[in-house]
Structure 1
Amino acid sequence: MVCSSDDGDLEQYASSVAHFSSQYGGEGTISYTVPNIIGPPSQPGVEGDFASSAVLVNVGFDTAVYVLSVRVFECYHPGGVCRLWARWEEPDGPRWTLLWRRRPGAQPEDHRQPFSPPLKILRRPVRQLRLELNCDHLGYYTGLDAVQLVGCVRPPSPARLLRGRPLRPLSARLFALMPTVLQPEELQDRVRELAELGRKAEEEERRQRRECPTPDSALLQLPEEIICRVLSCLDLVSLSRLSLTCRHLHRLCSDPLLYSQLDLQPYWHLVDTSIVPFLTSRASCLTKLDLSWCGNYGALSDADFCNLLSELGSRLVSLRVDACDWFNGLCMEWTGLFCRGLEELSLRSCRAVVDDAFWSLQYLCNLRRVDLYRTQVTAAPLATFIRNATGLQHLGLGLCERLQRLWHVCEALGECSADLRSLVLWKQRELSWAELRHIQSCRRLEELDLGWWMIQDGDLQLIAEHNRQMQQLDILGASLVRPEAVESVLSRCPDLRLLDVSFCAQVSEAQVALWRHLYPHCSIKRSYRPA
């Protein structure tokens, strides 16, 4: 939807969703899914919502414009948007720039709708925006109803760009030297005064250089062990920049021990094919690698990833590739071939891995933590993997819509996963009482997510009887559960630290308040919107 404002600016709502990492609703449904963000704001009850406390969504617009403002309609638990990016095209590929950010956890200045943050000036036409959300500080996940981009097709004047933007104050010292109106002779005096200040500053700088060594020489005089200790505190970008200063620091900055654990997710907009030779030349000791959100839009390919694994995969114990469009069946097969020592694997929203590729999981017998949220895994390869990975402790299976015959999976868990500590079965509609009976055999289970599964009172009583060591239980959306059954869990599970009863229709706010008083050791979450 495109329209013009009184100033001649183009106002348009998002017309497409190019990419997203997670969503609250299931695939193929209408309620609480990311496509609801398309178009103008809608009525309450059909707004977009998200299934993670730190997510991203890329929205596209019909016409590329020079950005003047962005309006975000946060309709449910506002305050989750923490970063706003813009994408534009260059001859050698797309580029991203950060338009605005808020420190994670900081409350917004106000919750008025729409939310329109102050933006960085960008002199490039933009057709796509990226929103990052962090809802850890909120009571529940933020719902996004719409995103509006306001801009002009032609390059705007500087005055138009600065309209409505806060300007940085002038230096107090310079302001004191420059009165509002100066006569010609006064202007000459002020110029001579500024020149004298500059000359004195240069003399003071030269004196300090004679008396004290330069920072670079002082740093290089330290033992290499101390320098490496300092370098270990730097982020990846700072480390790369420092390596360009001199040969000695370049050698120290190339120490493989500095690249043993790499989290590249904060640099998703910088990662491309050049990361492969960079890591293979420096990261021979790499054990943990996080490529989440990296390499989309053709920046990385499956061949790049396979080349990287062939060089560095044998030492990896942790691999995360959440929401990576390029991670396909070939990448899954190479992971099973070269990363036999993996203990953690996260494939959240890796939709390109299909069918027989998941059989490669059976070769990763050392895995302790696996997250397959919103993947297309099926029951047969998953059950085979569970029977081989007897040390499995954490398994995430939220929103796996192709995971039919779930009783095979739960049976394998009950028979072979004695050390299982956490299990996420969020929105797994195939669950029944029989599957839950198998899960009760995992006597070390501490965290269980049964969100939006139609559990009943008897199911909760099973949990209270067989899993008294439970520390976290999520039963949100259990509309059939009565308060008496919930209280049986609270009374019989003394280690329970978190209980989520959001959207449990029969659990009232007054009842939750009473439980919070009777069981202060347990954090009880409740978010409810009547139909």
Structure 2
Amino acid sequence: MSPVFPMLTVLSMFYYICLRRRARTATRGEMMNSRRAIESNNRALPTNVEIVQYAKEVLDFSSHYGSENSMSYTMWNLAGIQNVYPSSGDFTQTAVFRTYGTWWDQCPSARLPFKRTPPDFYSQDYVELAFEDPVYPTAVHILETYHPGSVVRVLACSANPYSQNPPAEVRWEVLWSEAPTKVNGPQARQFTPCIKQINFPTNLIRLEVNSSLLDYYTELDAVVLHGVKERPVLSLKTTMIDMNDDDEDEDEEKDGGGMESLNKQFSVAALKEWPTNGYFDKLPYELIQLILSHLTVPDLCRLAQTCKLLYQHCCDPLQYIHLSLQPYWARINDTSLEYLQSRCTLVQWLNLSWTGNRGAISVSGFSRFMKICGFELVRLELACGHFLNETCLEVIAETCVNLQELNLSSCDKLPPQAFNHIAKVGSLKRLILYRTKVEQTALLSILNFCSELQHLSLGSCVMIEDYDLIASMMGAKCKKLRTLDLWRCKNITENGIAELASGCQLLEELDLGWCPTLQSSTGCFTNIARKLPNLQKLFLTANRSVCDTDIEELAANCTHLRQLDILGTRMVSPTSLRKLLESCKDLSLLDVSFCSQIDNRVVLELNASFPRVLIKKSFTQ
């Protein structure tokens, strides 16, 4: 018999055991969901009166299509009563997230996904809404007015944002979650997911969305929370989100201490007393490591409790080279980071996006973790990390000497002076500063010292006084720049574009959407087309001056173009678009919404002639 056969047999047994356990867990989950549904339907109705309230305030969000200085297409439109519903269509009074579909994953600035992302985590964006009165929720109504279907999760928080005495522990409960589903048609709807009961009152609701299946931007008009003041008598017991959570016994009380209890209860000394591992310990170390690499972080924490051998493997720093904690944002705190500290000494990719808010992670806790685990970091994701301050960025700059990618998207509470420290990270190749308060002086310093930059996002950075000066510095110092996001940059002119196009000729992606100071008559778009022949994505969204000459220049010079957005221009004709489509064989996305010369008949004709291209034409009823 081949010596490989016993190894394969043991491996097969291991997979069989894993599958059996997952099957039992799934079956148990289905039974519990069924029991909950039955009990929920049969419970006595509460005697107190149901309260109906619209969101009072938008507290936080990850992105929006709109400007930081207006109300058009911003998340702030979710506060108060509906503005549009039940009408359907593209309206500026609604809340719109920055992206939709899979287009942003197909452009040069796209980032590689993290491994070990749990299969049931679909969220791409979020918005948090505060209501006047804490209630036990009985229903949540989401008014969607255009391309509905993006909401994948609804959560409730135990913290009262209007209380003077914040709770020692902030708890989140999932009211409803589901995988993304395709909704036919863009028409408005009232979405009322079937939520479960929780055992605390709330006036803080969070919506998480995934727009990957949408044909265009989703638009939300309002959120209505129904609830009662008194806890229903027959409310079901629920379990708070906790990294310790073990589905073996849903009624087991959790200690709320992150992963600390795992560390305390299952020490190496205790594991020495456990029985032998049968034949499993005969497998090569590398093979066991490969098997365990398919487990999520919570699964690794649970498996570490089973025996000394697996404890050793589950704590091996090689299992944490790529670590994404974003899917567990509600569970991560200082204790969690301390628990993971010894395992993350070799971590290269770290995702802490969305984590640590409302006091869950302290500056000292984050700093301790980075000083031990930051030396090998190449990629660091900190989007929406509102616990960050200047000290945190200083620690990153001093510790992460190999850092190449830094994402501070929507870290809008970081003080402007904090960004000066980024200039010390000379190895940076990707920097995302979308919706931050970075100022001109700090940005000039970053561009001067970080000459290896290839991807730079400055979308909605409203504190920059002179974008022409910034563009000039990029042209002089950032010769390797491949992608640049200047979304809603308010003051760049043809002079800045000329400097940029002359110096950054490797650019493959350029977003100049909603840049009102650019005028086609100055030749700025012609300059882009002639100087940047490698362009694959060009967004000129809402620039009313884009004309046939610009489109024809793109057709002649930018034949690798894949994505083009010219929403809102009245000066582009069907003839020039046909020339573009004939020349740019790789074009897959063309947005001509609100282009008055391009009506639905023209879109149908172009679709028939160029079926490989998805032509977007938004509408307002």
- Fold match, TM over 0.5? yes
Distance apart, 1:92 and its partner CA:
4.2
CA displacement, residues 216-251 of structure 1 (integer Å, 9 cap, x when unaligned): 746445332211111111111111111111222111
2:506 pairs with one of 435, 440, 444 = 444
Indicate how the Cα distance of structure 1 residues 242 and 505 shifts in structure 2: closer, same or farther if over 3 A, else same: farther
SS in 2 for 1:445: coil
Distance apart, 1:101 and its partner CA:
2.2
Indicate how the Cα distance of structure 1 residues 511 and 86 shifts in structure 2: closer, same or farther if over 3 A, else same: farther
Report the TM-score, using the length of structure 1 for normalisation.
Answer: 0.83
2:182 pairs with one of 102, 107, 125 = 107
SS in 1 for 2:459: coil
Supply the distance in 1 between the matched residues of 2:291 and 2:157 (Cα, whole angstroms): 35
* Aligned residue number for residue 606 of structure 2: none
SS in 1 for 2:286: helix
SS in 2 for 1:145: strand
* Aligned residue number for residue 196 of structure 1: none
1:150 to 2:223 alignment = no
Residue pair 1:512, 1:524 contacting (<8 A) in 2 also:
no
Supply the distance in 1 between the matched residues of 2:235 and 2:450 (Cα, whole angstroms): 63
Distance apart, 1:332 and its partner CA:
1.3
Taking the TM superposition and a 5 Å limit, the aligned residue runs for 1:231-250 are 231-250=292-311
SS in 2 for 1:319: strand
Residue pair 1:501, 1:524 contacting (<8 A) in 2 also:
no
Residue pair 1:377, 1:402 contacting (<8 A) in 2 also:
yes
1:132 to 2:208 alignment = yes
- Which amino acid in structure 2 is aligned with residue 26 of structure 1? S
1:463 to 2:528 alignment = yes
Q: Percent identity?
A: 32
SS in 2 for 1:478: coil
1:472 to 2:534 alignment = no
* Aligned residue number for residue 42 of structure 1: 83
Supply the distance in 1 between the matched residues of 2:93 and 2:548 (Cα, whole angstroms): 29
* Aligned residue number for residue 17 of structure 1: 58
Taking the TM superposition and a 5 Å limit, the aligned residue runs for 1:277-288 are 277-288=338-349
- Which amino acid in structure 1 is aligned with residue 524 of structure 2? D
Taking the TM superposition and a 5 Å limit, the aligned residue runs for 1:490-529 are 490-507=555-572, 516=581, 519-526=584-591, 527-528=593-594
* Aligned residue number for residue 31 of structure 1: 72
SS in 2 for 1:274: helix
* Aligned residue number for residue 387 of structure 1: 448
Supply the distance in 2 between the matched residues of 1:502 and 1:70 (Cα, whole angstroms): 34
Residue pair 1:502, 1:525 contacting (<8 A) in 2 also:
no
Residue pair 1:377, 1:403 contacting (<8 A) in 2 also:
yes
* Aligned residue number for residue 149 of structure 2: 79
Indicate how the Cα distance of structure 1 residues 486 and 109 shifts in structure 2: closer, same or farther if over 3 A, else same: closer
Distance apart, 1:314 and its partner CA:
1.6
* Aligned residue number for residue 489 of structure 1: 554
1:425 pairs with one of 476, 486, 491 = 486
Distance apart, 1:356 and its partner CA:
2.5
* Aligned residue number for residue 137 of structure 2: 67
Distance apart, 1:395 and its partner CA:
0.5
* Aligned residue number for residue 265 of structure 2: none
1:322 to 2:383 alignment = yes
Aligned length: 474
Indicate how the Cα distance of structure 1 residues 117 and 272 shifts in structure 2: closer, same or farther if over 3 A, else same: same
User: Which structure's relative contact order is higher, taking Cα pairs within 8 Å and 6+ residues apart?
Assistant: 2
CA displacement, residues 47-95 of structure 1 (integer Å, 9 cap, x when unaligned): 1222245321110111222222111111222222122111125964111
Supply the distance in 2 between the matched residues of 1:495 and 1:6 (Cα, whole angstroms): 66
Supply the distance in 1 between the matched residues of 2:590 and 2:569 (Cα, whole angstroms): 11
CA displacement, residues 108-144 of structure 1 (integer Å, 9 cap, x when unaligned): 4786521112223333322211111222322332221
Supply the distance in 2 between the matched residues of 1:280 and 1:488 (Cα, whole angstroms): 55
RMSD, matched Cα: 2.7
Supply the distance in 1 between the matched residues of 2:232 and 2:278 (Cα, whole angstroms): 47
Residue pair 1:478, 1:505 contacting (<8 A) in 2 also:
no
- Which amino acid in structure 1 is aligned with residue 328 of structure 2? Y
Taking the TM superposition and a 5 Å limit, the aligned residue runs for 1:192-203 are none
**Larger Rg over CA atoms:** 1
Distance apart, 1:465 and its partner CA:
0.8
- Which amino acid in structure 1 is aligned with residue 57 of structure 2? S
Indicate how the Cα distance of structure 1 residues 375 and 258 shifts in structure 2: closer, same or farther if over 3 A, else same: same
- Which amino acid in structure 2 is aligned with residue 478 of structure 1? N
Distance apart, 1:524 and its partner CA:
2.8
Unpaired segments of 5 or more residues in structure 2?
1-45, 85-90, 101-123, 160-165, 238-274, 595-617
* Aligned residue number for residue 405 of structure 2: 344
Distance apart, 1:34 and its partner CA:
1.6
Distance apart, 1:15 and its partner CA:
0.9
SS in 1 for 2:367: helix
Supply the distance in 2 between the matched residues of 1:393 and 1:518 (Cα, whole angstroms): 27
Deviating more after overlay: 470-479 vs 51-60: 51-60
* Aligned residue number for residue 7 of structure 2: none
SS in 2 for 1:461: helix
1:453 to 2:453 alignment = no
Residue pair 2:127, 2:206 contacting (<8 A) in 1 also:
yes
Residue pair 2:560, 2:585 contacting (<8 A) in 1 also:
no
Supply the distance in 2 between the matched residues of 1:272 and 1:508 (Cα, whole angstroms): 56
Q: Which 4+ residue blocks in structure 1 deviate beyond 6 angstroms?
A: 508-511
Indicate how the Cα distance of structure 1 residues 320 and 437 shifts in structure 2: closer, same or farther if over 3 A, else same: same
* Aligned residue number for residue 404 of structure 1: 465
- Which amino acid in structure 1 is aligned with residue 380 of structure 2? L
CA displacement, residues 180-218 of structure 1 (integer Å, 9 cap, x when unaligned): xxxxxxxxxxxxxxxxxxxxxxxxxxxxxxxxxx99746
